[in-house]
């Protein structure tokens, strides 16, 4: 049994700010560990390696257009539900842990925030944005995204998150795609069992895609076509257009989420969960290598 550690300091102050618009609260929010975590993450995913300070980021998030029309009372209701439902807290941690090496989530902190992505993970911590429209439409989605982001934390314990500013060559970019496919695919897969149990796969487009075998055949072919164009070519320095490959991978058709989850499911089904989990320790290359062993889906075909 893995014990949850949830930090609500950021979100409690943010709710108060959204209710009162008292600007004196913003510097206090910027001092929270969650604000510094988000600022560090923003720098890690910046192509320049630079990002806003915690103070600047808090201003951007809480004064952004996306906060217009947000009902702080609804956020408070979601927060209260999470704080009081300890059974769900424990299950979120343990569903993620089921697809991780032993003790991979030891010491993990989950920050509850508003405004920044739907959730992110880095350096032993994760965050979830309770103001996100997905949680507004279906509060139960919180638990599955919690599993997703917590799984990232465990994955990153063995595979630190790369900085985009360090991606300089086509080989580096291929490595990033391999890394993200393993990380995102495994996290999508880790939440699938619980979603299936409660019958809400259809509330998330990634699982809708995974249920459509014809679409997944096309996604898989396109993923490996794009990936191979980098991984099998002679390495060279990146040009601006090379970064366009991330659009179908991370947004658009969300290939590294969907194909990655397809790969994870196939590895578990044919080789066992222990083999799947061991790829986390061994690294993304092992994830791809074990997938190539699966009889019905030779790598890249």
* C-alpha closest to that of 147 among 95, 202, 210, 90: 95
Determine the pLDDT at residue 68. 84
Mean pLDDT of 70-76: 94
pLDDT band at 176 (very low <50, low <70, confident <90, very high): very high
Q: Residue 54 CA to chain centroid, in angstroms? A: 21
Per the prediction, the chain carries an average pLDDT of 94
Determine the pLDDT at residue 60. 96
Task: State yes or no: pLDDT of 27 exceeds 60.
Answer: yes
Determine the pLDDT at residue 183. 98
Show Cβ contacts of residue 135 under 8 Å, excluding neighbours closer than 6 positions. 78, 129, 141, 142, 145
Task: State yes or no: pLDDT of 184 exceeds 50.
Answer: yes
Strand-pair partners of 109? 125
Boundaries of every domain in the chain: 6-158, 169-293
Cα 49 to Cα 32, 179, 201, distances in angstroms: 22, 19, 36
pLDDT band at 297 (very low <50, low <70, confident <90, very high): low
Q: What is the pLDDT of residues 226-264, one digit of tens each?
A: 999 999 999 999 999 999 999 999 999 999 999 999 999
Q: What is d(CA 276, CA 271) in angstroms, rounded to the nearest whole number?
A: 8
Determine the pLDDT at residue 6. 96
Task: State yes or no: pLDDT of 4 exceeds 80.
Answer: no
* C-alpha closest to that of 190 among 178, 179, 182, 202: 182
pTM of the model: 0.95
Determine the pLDDT at residue 295. 61
């Amino acid at each position: 049994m893995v014990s949850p550690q949830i930090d609500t300091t950021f979100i409690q102050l943010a709710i108060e700010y959204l209710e009162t618009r008292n600007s004196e609260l913003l510097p206090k929010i910027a001092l929270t560990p969650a604000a510094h975590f988000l600022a560090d993450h923003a720098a890690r995913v910046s192509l320049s390696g630079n990002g806003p300070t915690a103070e600047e980021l808090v201003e951007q998030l809480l004064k952004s257009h996306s906060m217009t029309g947000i009902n702080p009372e609804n956020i408070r209701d979601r927060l209260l539900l999470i704080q009081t439902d300890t059974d769900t807290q424990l299950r979120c941690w343990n569903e993620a842990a089921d697809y991780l090496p032993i003790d991979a989530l030891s010491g993990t902190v989950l920050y509850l925030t508003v405004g920044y992505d739907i959730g992110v993970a880095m350096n032993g911590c994760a965050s979830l944005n309770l103001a996100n429209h997905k949680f507004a439409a279906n509060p139960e989605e919180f638990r599955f995204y919690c599993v997703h982001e917590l799984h990232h934390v465990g994955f990153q314990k063995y595979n630190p998150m790369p900085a985009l500013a360090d991606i300089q060559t086509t080989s580096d970019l291929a490595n990033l795609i391999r890394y993200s496919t393993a990380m995102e695919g495994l996290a999508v897969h880790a939440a699938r069992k619980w979603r299936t149990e409660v019958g809400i796969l259809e509330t998330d487009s990634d699982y809708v895609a995974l249920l459509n075998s014809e679409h997944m055949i096309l996604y898989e072919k396109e993923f490996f076509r794009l990936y191979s164009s980098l991984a099998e070519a002679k390495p060279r320095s990146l040009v601006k257009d090379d970064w366009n490959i991330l659009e179908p991978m991370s947004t658009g058709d969300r290939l590294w989420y969907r194909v990655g989850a397809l790969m994870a499911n196939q590895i578990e089904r044919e080789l066992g969960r222990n083999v799947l989990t061991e790829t986390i320790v061994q690294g993304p290359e092992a994830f791809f290598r074990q997938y190539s062993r699966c009889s019905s889906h030779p790598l890249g075909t």
